[in-house]
Chains A and B, each alone.
Chain A
Amino acid sequence: MVKPGGDNVIQDISNDGPAMPGRGRALLAALAVCAVLCVGLSLAGRWHGERVLDEERRELEESIQAPARFLSDTIFLRAGMLGALEGFVQNTALAPGRVEERFQNIAGYLNYGSNDVRVLALAPQGVVRMVFPLESNEVALGDDLLHDPKVRADVEQAVATGAVTLSAPYDLRQGGQGLVMRKAVTVDGRFWGLAALVLGVPALVEGTPLPNRTDILFGLAREGRIFYGDPDLARARPVVAPVPLPEGQGWELWAVPREGWAARGAGSARAFLATGGAFVALLTLLVYVFIRRTALLRRVVELTALQARTSESLYRRVFDSVLDGILIFDARGRVLSANPAACAMHGQRSMEGFRPRDFIHPESLRLFQEFLETASQGREFHSQGRGLRADGTVFPVEVRGTSFALSGGQRYLAVVRDQSEQERLRAERERFFALTLDLVGVSDLDKGLFRQVNPAWTQVLGFEPEEIIGRPWQEFVHPEDQAATQAAIREAAQGAGLRGFVNRWRTKGGDWRWLSWNAQPDRALGVAYAVARDVTGERLAAQKLRAANEELAAMNEELTSSNEEMAALNEEMTSTNEELLAEISRRSGAEDLLRASLAEKEVLLKELHHRVKNNLQVVSSLLGLQAGSVTDPAALALFEEGKNRIASMALVHEELYRSDDLSRVDLRQYLEKLARRLAGSLARDAAVDLALDLESILLSVDTAIPCGLLVNELVTNALKHGLAGREVLRLAVRARREQDRVLLRVADDGPGFPAHLDFRNTESLGMQLVVHLAEQLQGVLELEPGPGCAFSLSFPLREP
């Protein structure tokens, strides 16, 4: 089996995962290079900055040399003016008043064109006598310089040296700074006086190119201290140019860039850093790309090697697991390699180094030569031959072969398939073909000519196979069946095949046999496979069956006619039945009507009982109303008795109304109600111990009303007489059925019936009613002996 190693190879190549560490390493290396470069760049930047600054300073220093010289020259020039004044005095002093006379002219002449000379003065004997311009300087006239303590030192130096002296700058009265230059004037070797001039420093500076220099800040210093300009200039690392002055004195011109040194160098430093940064970035990127590329190349090389190994392994697996035998030969026909299938096929453990005759049947060796020739011409070889197993047995093979070039030279590849199984199957099929009892044949679809038939044809039809093969079916089929057969074959050829088609075939002896056909076309091969079975026997049997059936049909017809007669009879019966059903339905209707009528009557009867009871109630009420006007208690008692009698009758109708069949009263319920009502009505406040022992006995109205009235009288009597002088009266009412008689008993534990009286013959209406009602009931009434009073009645139960 081939394991899916190929997929792994593809995955390895495409998967970025394993390459990740390489990328990380490359990035780290690039960052390290970047860091080193940054340090270098920083150092270089600093060095560069210093170089630029130095250059700047040098340039600025050079640029202020000329103004410094200019300033120096101007001051020397002004010192020269004092020399000129001295000359003027020496030339003119001999003529008295001449100096004073000409001073203004000379001074105006000397001072012409110079804005920086604020004052020119002459001080004969040290006292200021002449001043130019006189305007606004009059105050100086008369100053005795030799004796002025502020200037005395300067003046004495000037007298002592005879050279031009220069005072320190001081604030002028006219505004601004100024400095005074003095020179002692001698005439004929004798001290004459002093010549002096005052220079305005701002005007002096104005006269130089310095004010045009907008790019710098500058100042003038004397003995290391700024006296003109910004005093803070000293802290800004100024460049210095010397300004030489007369008598070996000197100033310094200090200057710094107006924007400061840093600003001057900044642009250059930015450009340097930008260029350097870009260079570092580029170099870092290059380093990263280089390392990454190297890593990737190494990976590709590894993967290629892996792929090669996997391909080889894959090929080896295919080679080992394929079911066909694969053999590789060299040009001489020796086996270089044989796969396990090839070895197994030939019964060998290994076949390397085998020569053709070791595994090819001698008859097929010629084919091997053909294989080598065909394959070496670059064509594919295909043939069938016979192979040899290790045990010497022969087996059929199918061989395909080709050649290919390898570094060592031409190689031949043969794929060998063992055909033993196919051979066996073919032989088996042919055996079945020969043995089957059915007629089996193969015919072409085109003309219907038989190509192959089995021996069964001879057994059934008598023809030898060669008498049938190559002949069309039309020669054998019955003329009457030709058309149907043609149609069936046409239909079968559409692809559906034939199932159970029957036609007649001629035998060699001239008889006809019935054959039932199954057939299936194979349009690709242009043939039809057909199987037929001799059904002549079945056919004859079927014919006989048909004849029998026809006979049966005739009998059936007879039966049918009999059936029809039966049906007529049945119809008659059905109509009779329907009449009967109608009758039943009619009767059922009548029954329903009867039931309805009965229900109606029940309602009416109920209503009737209710009415009777109501009417009795009205009668009772009438009596009651009438009693309303009576005041005599005895008379009132009579009314009350009457009302009770009516109520006892009404109670019968109430019970009837409540009973199920509306015609009979349950004596138990009736007497219980009656007794309790009477006890409640007549006993007043005295307690009556009522003992009822009543059986359930159904009585008709005719019996119930006299029975009720009788009990009414007996209970009334008991309550009326028995209670006299007593607190509690025990009153027992009993009703029992014994066979077809009812036994009634009303007893009390009162004083008893008066012994001297005959209850059958008294004046009491109550007792008279009792006796008469007992008679009406055809009962036997008895007074039981004391103690107490107990009447018992036995009367026959008449079923309604």
Chain B
Amino acid sequence: MSDAASILLVEDERIIALEMKVLLQRMGFRVAASLSAGEQVLEQAPALCPDLVLMDIMLAGELDGIETARRLRRERPVPVIFCTAYTDAATMNRARDVLPVAILTKPVDRETLRRAILSGLDPGAARPQDPAPG
């Protein structure tokens, strides 16, 4: 598992976060951490060094996912995928401004998610290992 791409999961709804974590692990990715607030992301991301951030737009703290991504990208160029229930035009436009790899609408289709993650990871980055059979 050590070669698996590391993904930082950011989701304030813990149940959903749990399901996502399981889903990602089944896909063969390593979940670096599952956080619920933007502030935590900015604090821990430098140490975690994730290959990709999968993040909800609506978060628990003061910062929303878009602002968090903007500040995070200022520090290091990590690819970001937004995963949101909010799909109103204003929010989508704001989200596009920070150049995410993809904006996915909940509920997220498993295959769509997998493709988005793969396109977000650098060509040289580790590919997800084949999920355990079964």
Contacts and interface: CB of A to CB of B under 8 A. Distances in A.
B18 A625 contact: yes
Contacts of A646: 107
A620 B112 CA distance: 17
A622 interface: yes
Interface stretch (B45-53, B61-69, B85-93, B121-129): B85-93
A647 interface: yes
Contacts of B110: 681
Nearest to A681: B109
Contact of A617 (B18, B85, B88, B134): B85
A650 B18 CA distance: 19
Contacts of A658: 87-88
A657 B15 contact: no
B16 A618 contact: yes
Contacts of B106: 613, 617, 650
A680 interface: yes
Contact of A614 (B19, B85, B87): B85
A621 B110 CA distance: 13
A654 B105 contact: yes
Contacts of A721: none
Contacts of A657: 87-88
Given A610-B85, A617-B85, A621-B19, A681 B111 contact: yes
Interface string A609-642: 0100110011011101100100100000000000
A634 B77 CA distance: 43
Contacts of A654: 85, 87, 105
Nearest to A685: B111
B111 A617 contact: no
A628 B107 CA distance: 17
Nearest to A657: B88
B15 A625 contact: yes
Interface string A754-772: 0000000000000000000
Interface residues of B, number: 20
Contacts of A595: none
Contacts of A614: 13, 85
B85 A680 contact: no
Contacts of A621: 13, 15-16, 18-20
A643 interface: yes
Given A610-B86, A613-B85, A625-B19, A618 B13 contact: yes
A622 B22 CA distance: 12
Nearest to A622: B15
Interface string B57-76: 00000000000000000000
A617 B16 contact: yes
A617 B13 contact: yes
A677 interface: yes
Given A613-B85, A654-B105, A624 B13 contact: no
Nearest to A673: B105
B22 A647 contact: no
B109 A680 contact: yes
B134 to A, nearest CB: 6
Contacts of B88: 657-658
Contacts of A643: 107
Contact of A624 (B22, B86, B111): B22
Contacts, number: 52
Given A610-B85, A624-B23, A625-B18, A617 B107 contact: yes
Interface residues of A, number: 22
Contacts of B85: 610, 613-614, 617, 654
A617 B56 CA distance: 13
Nearest to A644: B107
A613 B109 CA distance: 16
Contacts of A618: 13, 15-16
Interface in B1-20: 13, 15-16, 18-20
A643 B87 CA distance: 20
Contacts of B19: 620-622, 624-625
Nearest to A677: B109
A680 B111 contact: yes
Contacts of A613: 85, 106
B119 to A, nearest CB: 16
Contacts of B109: 677, 680-681
Contacts of B16: 617-618, 621
Interface string A631-674: 10000000000010011001000100110000000000000000
B27 to A, nearest CB: 13
A623 B76 CA distance: 36
Interface in A586-616: 610, 613-614
A134 B18 CA distance: 166
A650 B13 CA distance: 16
Nearest to A618: B15
Q: Which of A618, A624, A646, A650 has the most CB of B within 10 A?
A: A624
Q: Which of B15, B22, B88, B134 has the most CB of A within 10 A?
A: B15
Contacts of B112: 680
Contact of A620 (B86, B107, B111): B107
B90 to A, nearest CB: 11
B24 to A, nearest CB: 12
Q: Which of B13, B19, B20, B112 has the most CB of A within 10 A?
A: B19
Q: Which of A621, A624, A657 has the most CB of B within 10 A?
A: A621
A608 to B, nearest CB: 13
Contacts of A647: 107
A650 B107 contact: yes
B17 to A, nearest CB: 8
A657 B88 CA distance: 8
B78 to A, nearest CB: 25
Interface string A22-49: 0000000000000000000000000000
A680 B105 CA distance: 14
Contacts of B23: 624
A564 B99 CA distance: 77
A362 B11 CA distance: 142
A98 to B, nearest CB: 159
A644 to B, nearest CB: 9
Contacts of B13: 614, 617-618, 621
Contacts of A622: 15, 19
Nearest to A620: B107
A618 B106 CA distance: 11
A681 B109 CA distance: 6
Contacts of B15: 618, 621-622, 625
Nearest to B12: A614
B11 to A, nearest CB: 10
B105 to A, nearest CB: 7
A374 B22 CA distance: 150
A646 B16 CA distance: 14
Nearest to B85: A613
A625 B111 contact: no
B134 A625 contact: no
Contacts of B111: 680-681
A613 B86 CA distance: 10
A266 B13 CA distance: 135
A292 B61 CA distance: 117
B20 to A, nearest CB: 8
Given A621-B16, A622-B15, A650-B107, 19 more contacts: A610-B85, A610-B86, A613-B85, A613-B106, A614-B13, A617-B13, A617-B85, A617-B106, A620-B19, A620-B107, A621-B13, A621-B19, A624-B22, A631-B134, A646-B107, A657-B87, A658-B88, A677-B109, A680-B112
Sorted nearest first, the 9 A-B pairs with minimum C-beta distance are A621-B19, A647-B107, A624-B19, A621-B16, A618-B15, A621-B15, A681-B109, A680-B109, A625-B19
7 contacts: A614-B85, A617-B13, A618-B16, A621-B16, A647-B107, A657-B87, A658-B88
Interface of B: 13, 15-16, 18-20, 22-23, 85-88, 105-107, 109-112, 134
Interface of A: 610, 613-614, 617-618, 620-622, 624-625, 628, 631, 643, 646-647, 650, 654, 657-658, 677, 680-681
